[in-house]
Structures are given as C-alpha cells and as structure tokens.
Amino acid sequence: MSNTTPSESVSTNTAGTPHPDDSQPAADRAYRHVKAGLLDGSYPDGHLLSEGEIAQHLRMSRTPVREAFLHLQAEGFLRLYPKRGALVVPITPAETRSLLEARLALESFAIDKITATPGP
C-alpha cells in the first residue's frame, strides 16, 4: 500500500492516530477511502492493493474492504485476483481521449448556452 493515503474517510484523534468515522457503514467508508485514493493518484495504475493493508489502515475487518473492492471492480476501477489482491486498472489512451472529447462537447455546449442568454 502506498504511504500516501486519502484522508477524507479517516479522521485522527488527539494523538494523531487514524480512526474511522463510525457513523457510516464500514463498507461505505472503505469504498470512499479506496476510490479517493484511486482518483487522487495515491493508488496509481497497476498498483496491487491488499485487503489486509487497507483494513488495517482503516481499523476494520477485511469483509467491508472486500465489499468495497467488489463495488470498485463492478465500476471498472479494480481487477480482483483471489488471494493476491486488487489491481488498479490502468486507463487506456482511448478511454482518456473519449473522456476529453465528452468534456469538450459538454463545455462547448455550456459556453454556447451562457453566451446565448441575454443579460450581464
């Protein structure tokens, strides 16, 4: 696991020790933590994530982490390998191109709508 970890799903107590926000289900906390790490680059393409390391960091059992991994696999972020871990799926150049084209289309449409509207 990377030394850099997302902080949005784990707060710290007065001693600076991470502890989970118990107001949310453990699987949701694990999902948010791992997804944040995927999106901010803490877990880069090709990185092998360990259920045990994530569970230990979040101070929870492996079961909610496994559920989070399954959810992230269904979304296409991870590829699970039984008894080995979860591989962060690299984004292909074609996927990157498609995403940028969609963003350009949406932003162009938004600009056209804004500029067509009279007013300040």
Q: What is the CATH number for 42?
A: 1.10.10.10
Q: What are phi and psi of 45, to 5 degrees?
A: -50, 135
7: pLDDT strictly greater than 60:
no
Can you say how many angstroms the Cα of residue 2 is from the centroid of all Cα atoms in its chain?
14
- Look at residue 52 and tell me if it is in a domain: yes
Q: What is the pLDDT of residues 70-80, one digit of tens each?
A: 999 999 999 99
- Look at residue 21 and tell me if it is in a domain: no
- Provide the residue range defining the domain that includes 68: 26-90
Are the C-beta atoms of residues 38 and 77 closer than 8 Å to each other? yes
Largest Cα separation within the chain, whole Å, is 61
CA angle at 50 for the pair 27 and 32, rounded to the nearest 5°: 30
User: What is the count of structural domains for the chain?
Assistant: 1
Distance, CA of 110 to CA of 80 (rounded, Å)? 39
- Look at residue 96 and tell me if it is in a domain: no
Q: Which residue has the tokens 């710290």?
A: 12
- Look at residue 64 and tell me if it is in a domain: yes
- Number of helices (H), then strands (E), belonging to the chain: the values are 4, 5
Report the pLDDT averaged over residues 2-9: 44
For residue 96, the model assigns a pLDDT of 86
For residue 14, the model assigns a pLDDT of 39
- Look at residue 3 and tell me if it is in a domain: no
67: pLDDT strictly greater than 90:
yes
3: pLDDT strictly greater than 70:
no
- Look at residue 104 and tell me if it is in a domain: no
5: pLDDT strictly greater than 60:
no
For residue 91, the model assigns a pLDDT of 84
- Look at residue 4 and tell me if it is in a domain: no
Under DSSP, the state recorded for 14 is T
